[in-house]
Amino acid sequence: MINNNKEGILELTLELVKVPSFSCSQGEIELANFIYDILKELEYFQKNKDNLKLLEIANDELGRSLVLALVKAIPPTSKTIVFIGHYDVVDVENFGALKEIAFDPIKYTERLRNLPLNEDAARDLESGNYLFGRGIMDMKAGLAIQMAFLAEASQNPASLNANLMFLAVPDEENNSAGMRGAVPYLVKFQEEMGLDYIAAINCEPSSPVFPGDTKRYIHLGTVGKIMPFFYVVGKETHVADWADGFNPNLLLSYINILLEAKAKFIDGKEKQFFSPPLCLKQKDLRDAYSVTIPGKGVAYYNYLTVTKLPKKILMEMKIIAEEAFNMTIRHLNDSAKEFCKISGRKVDIPWKAKILTYQELFESVKQNFSGDINEYVRKFFKTLTDDLDERERCVALIGELLKFYPDKDPKVIIGFLPPYYPHRGNLRQTTKEKNILEVVNEIIDFARKEFGEELEIVEYMAGITDLSFFGFQGSREELVFLAENMPGWGNLYDIQIEYLVKLDVPVLNIGPSGKDAHKNTERLELDYSFRVAPKLLKLFVEKLSQKGTK
């Protein structure tokens, strides 16, 4: 029995937290089954068994599933509101000696009373209004709020003006395999059942923006993320013959100078701007010590978006690669001149800037390859060791393809690495988008009058979320371009393009309140999260479902 009240939601939250559902683990499978079994006990799903499903994620090596539950309104309607949430959590290594009780918020919170904490966490602990523990904030409280509302609605479908779909997914904290795997199912139900998705609601927690901030935040969209890479082919030589070689580390350094934290690449909209591009990894591709200049190197960057699409970003990266290449050549020419003055020995620097997109590299290799290049790629991935992540596997593929590329001179290959998260915002263009904005403003007024809470609209949630995959605010060609320039697309990673472009669901994040996601002081604010947030969600659903969509 799930009770949609403060005590019932807290109890359910603690039950969900108990399961250590780390990303990419058997715990995700265990928790999916647990959620399914809880919902299966509801009378509605006893009578409507086909409306509750464990849906397998296609080609998932771990065999993980989505939990989908649908409560249909009476009388029937096509209007459908989707509750989306993730049930995986990050690891607990930063909990140290207390990691064994990280999934028991009652015990963990009590143990923290005997440990030193930062001032803010200590104050929250002393207040008695917070519970600490892994996953309690991010985002099992949000899941419990959704499940409790679904359970209540299932008791009286005649009270609904829209169908309610609950969708719980794994892997949000990793590569969003769960949500990417859900996209084809959403399209299938949209087409086969005639569902009209009027909103997708996430219940991720919001946090104070600055110390002493007492506002709560409702997000109308989610930021996007793309990861451009630069794979530099150099020229190996013994260090004694330095002028005969080309060190990829030097070119990568100039790329980093031109791109790292540069404000001109910041993407934003109106008054909201996000972090500039930041390098997540830069290294040469040689494992052992040697006095030979390394032959290859790679760097890739985190790039947050709210307006920019893949074609524009790769054009930016091409300009950077060209400029950095020319800076490197000038650097080497200057060094050669100084070397000549000192040594009396003339050296020549013969290099010219060469930039290739990954698509250009692949197509060139494909034309001259004797056999099925796609089958070769599939077999190549099977030869790689399990300790390599998706990005390292993509980089390995580039190195393999270069073996078949005839031009061995220094060059830069540019493209993208997984994962990719499209940005999604409320553009105020469709009736559905405008409806959400109207109802959000009503919720803000209600929260102020009823609870004395100040809510504020934020256009884009700064954290990466699964809301990214409820459509694509760009052309299909942009996604095809992305796919063509991402090594391993279709083998290591993909987005079902033909399905994604069939979705256009306005999104919203309205959830509980907490602090320090992913830290050992992760905590949930109890009163607001279990007394206020569920009422705001319920009222939002009621008001939105009453509006027309045409």
Token pair listed for 16: 């969900």
Closest-CA residue to 165 (of 89, 73, 88): 73
In this prediction, residue 1 carries a pLDDT of 81
Q: Where residue 139 falls among pLDDT bands split at 50, 70, 90?
A: very high
Q: Tokens 């690495």, residue?
A: 417
Token pair listed for 375: 């089958």
Compute CA distances 346 → 237, 336, 350, 405, whole Å.
18, 8, 13, 32
First to last CA, the chain: 38
Judge whether 417 and 227 are in contact, CB under 8 Å: yes
Q: Is the peptide bond before 75 cis (omega within 30 degrees of 0)?
A: yes
Residue 413 has pLDDT above 90, yes or no: yes
Beta strands in 253-295 (DSSP E): 268-269, 272-273, 278-284
Determine the residue type at 526. Answer: L
Closest-CA residue to 399 (of 283, 310, 540): 283
* Span 145-195, pLDDT tens digits: 999 999 999 999 999 999 999 999 999 999 999 999 999 999 999 999 999
DSSP assigned state of 277: P
Q: Which helix (H) or strand (E) holds 185?
A: helix 177-192
Q: Tokens 């290294």, residue?
A: 283
Closest-CA residue to 311 (of 226, 192, 246): 226
In this prediction, residue 68 carries a pLDDT of 98
Residue 550 has pLDDT above 80, yes or no: no
Q: pTM, whole model, 2 decimals? A: 0.96
3-state secondary structure of 495: coil
| Least confident segment among 9-23, 342-356, 513-527 | 342-356
In this prediction, residue 19 carries a pLDDT of 98
Residue 241 has pLDDT above 90, yes or no: no
Structural domains for the chain: 6-222+426-470+505-545 (3.40.630.10), 224-421 (3.30.70.360)
Q: Cα dihedral angle (388, 390, 394, 396), rounded to 10 degrees?
A: 0
**In angstroms, rounded to a whole number, what is the distance separating the alpha carbons of residues 196 and 191?**
9
Q: Which helix (H) or strand (E) holds 442?
A: helix 431-451
* Span 183-238, pLDDT tens digits: 999 999 999 999 999 999 999 999 999 999 999 999 999 999 999 999 999 999 99
Q: Tokens 């040697």, residue?
A: 290
Q: Where residue 519 falls among pLDDT bands split at 50, 70, 90?
A: very high
In this prediction, residue 109 carries a pLDDT of 98
Judge whether 142 and 517 are in contact, CB under 8 Å: no
Residues for the chain: how many in total? 550
In this prediction, residue 199 carries a pLDDT of 98
Judge whether 215 and 415 are in contact, CB under 8 Å: no
3-state secondary structure of 535: helix
Residue 548 has pLDDT above 90, yes or no: no
Q: Is 331 left (phi over 0), alpha (psi -120 to 50) or beta?
A: alpha
Q: Where are the alpha helices (DSSP H) in 344-384?
A: 358-368, 373-383
216-219 and 455-458 as β-strands: parallel, antiparallel, unpaired? Answer: parallel
State percent of the chain over pLDDT 90. Answer: 96
**In angstroms, rounded to a whole number, what is the distance separating the alpha carbons of residues 20 and 101?**
10
Token pair listed for 81: 């509101």
3-class secondary structure per residue, 211-264 = CCCCCEEEECCECEEEEEEEEEECECCEHHHHHHCECHHHHHHHHHHHHCCCHH
Q: 339 phi and psi, to 5 degrees?
A: -60, -40
345 or 515, higher pLDDT:
515
What is the average pLDDT across 451-472? 97
CB proximity list for 381: less than 8 A, separation 6 or greater: 393, 397, 488, 491, 492
In this prediction, residue 172 carries a pLDDT of 97
In this prediction, residue 549 carries a pLDDT of 78
What is the average pLDDT across 72-84? 98
Could you write out the DSSP letters of every residue in 472-486?
-SS-HHHHHHHHHTS
In this prediction, residue 271 carries a pLDDT of 86
What is the average pLDDT across 524-545? 98
In this prediction, residue 243 carries a pLDDT of 86
